[in-house]
Structure 1
């Protein structure tokens, strides 16, 4: 058994950085609805999620086996390939976080692995059947199943509670949300922390430290669990805001239905070794809950941008990883060049995020970054439209009309009515 080399140490550290970004990128999956409905305060929510992510990392290694010995062929793959794959995944995670888009960290990792492996050894380095059965099919099925389950659960919840006042039952639903959010956090640790375990294990196999097919060592399990927990505690506030407020307006019964449905899908997939996206599952559940309530709406403009990000994740991360692998193949200078580009790119994204910070103090604000043409009632109330003007909010299904000024008092300001 060989000792861990400098290159292998760099890959392990980079994998843990990816795990860290996965944590704060996916905090929204568990806690966005809980925070948006007021069931938990933002900092309390992310602290709870961090602890349960850590616990979940120790529950199974089935998904880790899928990553380490299923997506790409271990034989003939250099350690630099794993490094290049992680670079592609990290940069895509950070970019989508900056834009507040709930994209899949899992698919970013898969895209990075595929792109780097193909650049290194051709298409023969990729196990196509495994990608189809354990990545692509779950990617399509998970949000649909979670969305349908959440929609049905929401309809049943409102039907059962039709004779009760929602204000009186809200406290109970918020308690249920806390429990279901904890379940999603546990499921996230069980599924997503294992992906980093699998990547580190794959790197150790390519470096000759472990034999092919080996389970992740305990130090790998512990370090991956701690990294994702720390990232979760930081809180991906930009994505939490999109998930909690940008897709639909959730009430406590909807939040409970969405989180319970998502957790069930994620835990079932972890048991079967399917490495699905927790982000897609939770996003699908949120939209299903939005459609399940009578009068509820889904903001399809935001959902469309999210769908586009989902479709771009695999190829975008793959292309970046392929370019990184091209550089690492040039030798030691190429590896350090890629490391420098990763640091520079990450720094630039962080600096850009400081121009308009989002944190626990403003994550539940109603002033979302909507596309041009969307006018919220809050803005209309502060700045009424001109007399006689009618402004339609297609996303919120709201029409704001300003009556003409009274003839008796031409100078009176027009008042907006909703």
Structure 2
């Protein structure tokens, strides 16, 4: 096995691992409000979301092609592939991709540990941008596409990141206000029951939309790796086996359930009632599906969080925990540079060692750091049993229930 073949295998494995973390990190985007209001039981919610993410992954490839073509400049000024990236079986570009994936995974795991619903998408893009800058300089990143329109990182990633939560929040706020205005005077038990059924439909639509957007990102990364190694030549398509593997990876991660993030979204921002939940999920689904159709690799986390905050603003008398929202915004702002720094450092380590040793050491560091974060999370576990505990920052009551059941 050549060094290029080894690193290609490691890139594919690591990309699918990122897809898995994307799944459990982002489950709350679709199901947190339905779990919080009792519209769906926690385990049923994540199972339903997993199935719909699997289906959604096959519905579009526009976002995947954005990742393949709009982040790293893989072509020279004449439109051909850069020789410096495809030498030695694509080893240089594959090392950039591997380092970028490590940056994305570690940021996903770190924010999951803290229960912060940060963007998996921006963690991935930040890691790739950081490793590309470290390897190629600032000109190695496709910032503005071909210059005639904003179809590079700025147009497809950064601008949607800023606009999407604002748009989703406004839509959710207006929708929530209208719902409570129209249902004023109707007994609460009727509105709660009816909107819980509506939440099941709207949450399902968000899960489907999540599959059409987030699963595509890993498809794009693996396709880019195959292009680098010469195993694929079509920059306008994705191999079927890549679609299949990525769909199952994100669905598996979704089924595991990122309970720490689900708890923050469902209980930490706003005490949500069913009408608010339906409004949040409907606005999220609309924004995500529209963006997937246009090839915008936006953050579904930003959209879902903006929608939930919007329902708090739109419901008269509702309390929004702005301190929690502020922590999320800080995480959003530092996601790209933080993951970029990890990607850059990881690339430097891999490049310094080179050959077989570089990618193996990088992969080993990823395994070690991931194991440490997982073990740290077990000191204060969050699961389906305590995800809906009253919000005080720590789900202590749920831990007592778990101990009682175990006893």
Q: Distance in 1 between matches of 2:234 and 2:139?
A: 18
Which structure 2 residues correspond to residues 124-143 of structure 1 after superposition, within 5 A? 124-129=139-144, 130-143=152-165
TM-score by length of 1: 0.87
1:184 — aligned with what?
206
Match of 1:82 in 2: 97
Map Cα deviations across residues 220-270 of structure 1 (whole Å, 9 max, x no partner). 000000000000000000000000000010000000000000000000000
How many equivalent pairs are there?
370
TM-score by length of structure 2 reads 0.89
Partners of 2:10 and 2:359 within 8 A in 1: no
Question: Per-residue deviation at 1:4?
Answer: 8.1
Give the number of the structure whose alpha-carbon radius of gyration is greater: 1
After TM superposition, where is structure 1 displaced by more than 3 Å over at least 4 residues in a row? Answer: none
> How far does the alpha carbon of each residue in 1:138-194 deviate from its partner, in whole angstroms, 9 at most, with x for none?
001000000000000000001111121121121110011000000000000000000
Find the partner of 2:307 among 268, 279, 285: 285
Structure 2 residue aligned with 1:108: 123
How is 1:259-338 mapped onto 2 (pairs within 5 angstroms)?
259-330=281-352, 331=354, 332-338=356-362
Show structure 1 runs of 5+ residues with no match.
Answer: 371-377, 379-418
Aligned Cα root-mean-square deviation (Å): 1.4
Distance in 2 (alpha carbons) for counterparts of 1:360 and 1:196: 27
* SS, match of residue 26 in structure 1: helix
- The answer to whether the aligner puts 1:341 opposite 2:365 as a matched pair is yes
Q: 1 or 2 for the larger relative contact order (CA 8 Å, sep ≥6)?
A: 2
Are the aligned partners of 2:349 and 2:358 in contact in 1 as well (CA < 8 Å)? yes
Distance in 2 (alpha carbons) for counterparts of 1:120 and 1:214: 25
Greater shift, 176-185 or 3-12, is seen at 3-12
Measured against aligned partners, the alpha-carbon deviations of 1:323-382 in whole angstroms (never above 9, x if no partner) come to 011111121322222111111100000000000100000000014317xxxxxxx9xxxx
SS of equivalent to 1:162: coil
Is 1:218 aligned to residue 240 of structure 2? Answer: yes
Deviation of 1:212 after TM superposition, in Å, equals 5.3
**Structure 2 match to 1:99:** 114
Alpha-carbon distance, 1:281 to partner: 0.1
Matching residue of 1:364: 388
1:69, 1:212 within 8 Å by CA — same for their partners in 2? no
Higher fraction of helix? 2
Question: Corresponding residue for 2:168?
Answer: 146
* Alignment match, 2:137: 122
Match of 1:408 in 2: none
Cα displacement string for residues 12-70 of structure 1 (whole angstroms, at most 9, x for unaligned residues): 00000000000000000000000000000000000000000000000000000000011
Displacement after TM superposition at 1:213 (Å): 1.2
The answer for the alignment partner of 1:38 in structure 2 is 38
Question: 1:52 — aligned with what?
Answer: 52
Q: Which SS does the other structure have where 2:117 is aligned? A: coil
Unaligned runs of 5+ in 2: 75-81, 86-92, 145-151, 398-407
1:200 aligns with 2:215: no
